[in-house]
Amino acid sequence: MQLHTDLGDGLSPPEAILDAAEHASLDVIAITDHDDIRASFLTRDLAAKRGSAVEVIAGIEVTTRSGHLLALFVEDEIPMLRPLDETILRVHELGGIAVVPHPLSYLTFSVGERSLRDLAERGDDTFFVDGIELRNPSYAGRVRAARAEWLNAHVLRVAQTGSSDAHHAALVGTAWTQFEGTTAAQLRAAIAARATVAAGRRWTLREHLDGALRQQWRSMLRDPAKRVWRRYARPAPARKR
């Protein structure tokens, strides 16, 4: 439910990500490049053309002011660097679901406990997340996993998800979300019913280091600059007279 391609800060093209998902016998995947939906459309089209057994969800990992947020089942891009509650509202307006990736982590830009408690205290599902990622095999995803699990059990009470957060094909399928069924529609229903189970394993040190410098260069320098340019440097549309 969180995969990245080389159209964003990942290292593998959509074709390789789909190949790896098929090899791992996954039923459903979500492509979630940072603030960029294009790769999810490309991968979905590729899966349809080849008659893949893997169903592809369109998604984005949106950069909010409070941290990253997964927008799944959306068909349009979502503005970056907006307040968390405003971003969740936009995801829901687009018919999507909002999931918190690598929650509470201080090793990557993550939504913190205070922000999640504030949302819970509002008591309004329109501005509340639909799921929280409780299995992420990276160091960044595991560092506050126990606290995130406690927070969900006692405060949030939303669906739990597992995601490989893979930035190259070799890591696809190292963590996953278990649900009753095999389709994206059944996955969505399971999330709504809070009937999902987060599962997976940890990455080894070698898996962490494989391509790490190149991926971090993309993540910290090249990709943010590219996203800002793409979002804000487009020519202004001509005014109608």
pLDDT for 241 beyond 60? no
**Predicted pLDDT of residue 228:** 61
pLDDT band at 43 (very low <50, low <70, confident <90, very high): very high
pLDDT confidence band for 9 (50 / 70 / 90): confident
Reduce the DSSP state of residue 209 to 3 states and report it.
helix
Q: Where are the alpha helices (DSSP H) in 97-211?
A: 113-122, 139-142, 145-151, 184-192, 205-209
At residue 219, the pLDDT reads 56
Domain CATH number, residue 217: 3.20.20.140
Q: Work out the end-to-end distance of the chain between its first and last CA atoms, rounded to an integer number of angstroms.
A: 46
The one-letter code for the residue type at 199 is A
Prediction pTM value: 0.90
Distances (CA, A) of 33 to 72, 197, 238: 11, 23, 30
Whether residue 226 lies inside any domain: the answer is: yes
Measured CA to CA, the distance from residue 177 to residue 187 in angstroms comes to: 9
Question: How many domains, in total, are found in the chain?
Answer: 1
Kindly report, residue by residue over 212-224, the tens digit of the pLDDT: 555 554 555 556 6
Q: Is residue 8 part of a domain?
A: no
Helix (H/G/I), strand (E/B), else coil: 7:
coil
In this structure, is residue 172 part of a structural domain? yes
Q: Is residue 4 assigned to a domain?
A: no
Domain that holds residue 117: 14-232
240 found inside a domain: no
Q: Is pLDDT at 161 greater than 70 in this prediction?
A: yes
**Could you give the percent of the chain with pLDDT greater than 90?**
83
Any idea what DSSP says for residue 25?
A: T
